[in-house]
Amino acid sequence: MLAQVLRAQNSGGSSKVIFKHDLPEVALRDWAVTAVEVSYGPGESSPPHSHPGITIAYVLEGEIRSKVGDGAEASYSAGEMFLETPGELHTVSRNASTSGPAKLLALLLAEKGKPLTTAVSPS
């Protein structure tokens, strides 16, 4: 399959890297990937949470404000991505706009049978 992807990339069209991030060392035995679309209305947000596995987020529409782990709060616009590592606290996840919608696609890689998201009380 990888060979087919590489051939397709070399046979016309164009590609560019939009996101690259080192991954934590994890064993992926008995893991699965789940794709979740998260939609926020104007001013909406999610409560603080964490994920047991790796989460890769791609902003589809609007602008998302996010704070993950010890990182600074940041804004991500359509076409941009961010990553959450296992157990990392996601304290801010909200629509940056009070007038328009925002949407992201989250790819959650986690051990089969585990909850994908755990609510966390802010400290």
Span 6-62, pLDDT tens digits: 555 556 677 788 888 888 888 889 999 999 999 999 999 999 999 999 999 999 999
Residue extents of the structural domains in the chain: 28-113
Q: Which pLDDT value is given to residue 2?
A: 46
pTM recorded for the entire structure: 0.80
Q: What is the pLDDT of residues 82-123, one digit of tens each?
A: 999 999 999 999 999 999 999 999 999 999 998 999 988 765
Give residue for tokens 């590489």. 6
The CATH T-level fold of domain 28-113 is Jelly Rolls (2.60.120)
Q: Is 81 exposed, middle or buried (0-12, 13-18, 19+ CB in 10 A)?
A: middle
